[in-house]
Amino acid sequence: MHYISTRGGMQPLPFSDTILMGLAPDGGLALPEHYPQIGREQLDAWRGLSYAELAFEVIRLFATDIPEADLKDIVSRTYTAEVYGSAEITPVKRLKDGLVILELSNGPTLAFKDMAMQFLGNLFEYVLAKKGEELNIVGATSGDTGSAAEYAMRGKAGINVFMLSPDGLMSPFQRAQMYSLQDENIHNIAIKGMFDDCQDIVKAVQNDHAFKARHKVGTVNSINWARVVAQVVYYFKGYFNATASNDEQVSFCVPSGNFGNVCAGHIARQMGLPVERLIVATNENDVLDEFFRTGVYRPRGTANTWVTSSPSMDISKASNFERFVFDLVGRDAAKVRELWAKVDSGEGFDLSAQLAATREQFGFASGKSTHADRLATIRQVDREDGVVVDTHTADGIKVARDVRRPGETVVCLETALPAKFADTIREALDRDPPRPAGFDGIENLPQRVTVFDADAAAVKDFIEAALA
């Protein structure tokens, strides 16, 4: 299996090369040349597999240049009860109204990003050792991605992480999660400024090509193909857990920001998983909802991106969306280039005709949830089911209830645990969210962080000194 770019300008590459790459050299995103097709016989054989066994079966279809015994070792070290809290890895629970919640947030940082990032940490370590290379990850975070990356890469040979975060702007819980890591290869850098200032410094480092090459600088953002592929696995697992037989269909409802999570659902559906609909749930930042309702994509600037109580979905330019659009326009790379030239000029594009013509083929639907909806949903699920859900998952539940058809089984993806968003839970329920075992008092642990002004040169000096 080889990988091509959505913009058509990349020689097909094997899996191991694709996963170390950020954007493709032509600015596009990597996708497999075709999606492997899963027939009924394979589904029947997969239904009884454990999570790690299923992960091996799914990922090996894409990672054909990794010897099977090695891949098996990587996934069996990744998907363990020790890391994810139960042998099920991704258990489901049913709400009284029939909605199914697929739990994806029982990993070390209590958000679904651990599902793929833990795999990526082990995979990077393996691939780098094979190639005799090192990787220094420089990233910016306002919360979830940075902590998931740090917990995935901590203690890994050949990898250092330099994670920039805005000084004093994350919640005390999020700060404690990241800054309390004492591993030598994890470097927390707090910047006196906003998230955008952190992002600008990362861009400055990336654009200093000499520095980048000298220090093997890479990223782990959500466009990384290995993250998407690892997420495909839990759509299969969620389907098996939510149904009694492979004759059934389900729909998935996915709280979305950068479109990485639901992009994996799209790929699972294209592979032949019996998925009726993929329901994209957004918050007030509703670029994706607007697209799936109207076919018009109008990405917005930071000035028009609202700060909400589901902050991991405060995104107005969905980085993984290009992968779906490539399929939507019949894998026409020239068309994608033309569309993204319009995105870059701030214009957006209109694919209403293509979307209308392919409703059946791709099965997307969408909806939107606001702060008031989020609070009402958190209260309702607490009252009726005795379950406290986080703000992002609440957006998904709200949208699933809005668009659900009679008889449709909808699986809502849980993307974080409420302990991470205590302020909004207190606003909704007038009490603190439950804290999973092992997280009590983490705010009191010693923290390891270096504070800088928003100065790219100072950060580069720090990286250089740390690597010397």
Ligand X SMILES: *Cc1c(COP(=O)(O)O)cnc(C)c1O
How far apart CA 424 and CA 198 sit, in angstroms, is 25
Does 313 engage in binding with ligand X (CB under 6 A)? yes
Q: Nearest-CA neighbor of 197 among 422, 452, 466, 412? A: 452
Minimum CB distance to ligand X smaller for 160 or for 222: 222
Backbone angles phi, psi at 280, to 5 degrees: -90, 120
Residues that contact ligand X, how many (by CB under 6 A): 16
Q: Is 9 exposed, middle or buried (0-12, 13-18, 19+ CB in 10 A)?
A: middle
We find the least distance from the C-beta atom of residue 257 to ligand X, in angstroms, to be 4
Query: Quick one: which of 160, 222, 270, 285 contacts ligand X (CB under 6 A)?
Result: 222
The span of 60-68, 185-193, 256-264, 401-409 binding ligand X (CB under 6 A) equals: 256-264
Does 78 engage in binding with ligand X (CB under 6 A)? no
Catalytic one of 93, 96, 113, 212: 113
Q: What mask, x for binding ligand X by CB under 6 A, covers residues 398 to 427? A: -----------------xx-----------
Number of alpha carbons in the 13 Å side-chain half-sphere of residue 42:
13
How far apart CA 14 and CA 229 sit, in angstroms, is 14
Q: Which residues contact 27 (CB under 8 A, 6 or more apart)?
A: 7, 340
Does 392 engage in binding with ligand X (CB under 6 A)? yes
Minimum CB distance to ligand X smaller for 78 or for 261: 261
Minimum CB distance to ligand X smaller for 154 or for 317: 317
Number of alpha carbons in the 13 Å side-chain half-sphere of residue 216:
12
Does 227 engage in binding with ligand X (CB under 6 A)? no
Does 336 engage in binding with ligand X (CB under 6 A)? no
Pairing status of strand 100-103 against strand 450-453: unpaired
Minimum CB distance to ligand X smaller for 10 or for 223: 223
Q: What mask, x for binding ligand X by CB under 6 A, covers residues 182 to 221? A: ----------------------------------------
We find the least distance from the C-beta atom of residue 72 to ligand X, in angstroms, to be 27
Q: From the centroid of its chain, how far is CA 98?
A: 26
Q: Nearest-CA neighbor of 348 among 396, 277, 282, 298? A: 298
How far apart CA 463 and CA 268 sit, in angstroms, is 39
Query: Quick one: which of 136, 261, 270, 282 contacts ligand X (CB under 6 A)?
Result: 261
Does 287 engage in binding with ligand X (CB under 6 A)? no
In the region spanning residues 108 to 167, those forming contacts with ligand X, defined by CB under 6 A, are 111, 113, 144
Query: Quick one: which of 28, 32, 166, 257 contacts ligand X (CB under 6 A)?
Result: 257
Minimum CB distance to ligand X smaller for 392 or for 398: 392
Minimum CB distance to ligand X smaller for 249 or for 319: 319
Q: Is 216 exposed, middle or buried (0-12, 13-18, 19+ CB in 10 A)?
A: middle
Query: Quick one: which of 85, 107, 146, 255 contacts ligand X (CB under 6 A)?
Result: 255
Active-site annotation holds for 192:
no
We find the least distance from the C-beta atom of residue 370 to ligand X, in angstroms, to be 16
Minimum CB distance to ligand X smaller for 412 or for 463: 412
Identify whether the C-beta of residue 119 lies closer than 8 Å to the C-beta of residue 58: no
Active site residues: 113
Binding positions for ligand X, rule: CB under 6 A: 111, 113, 144, 222, 255-261, 312-313, 392, 415-416
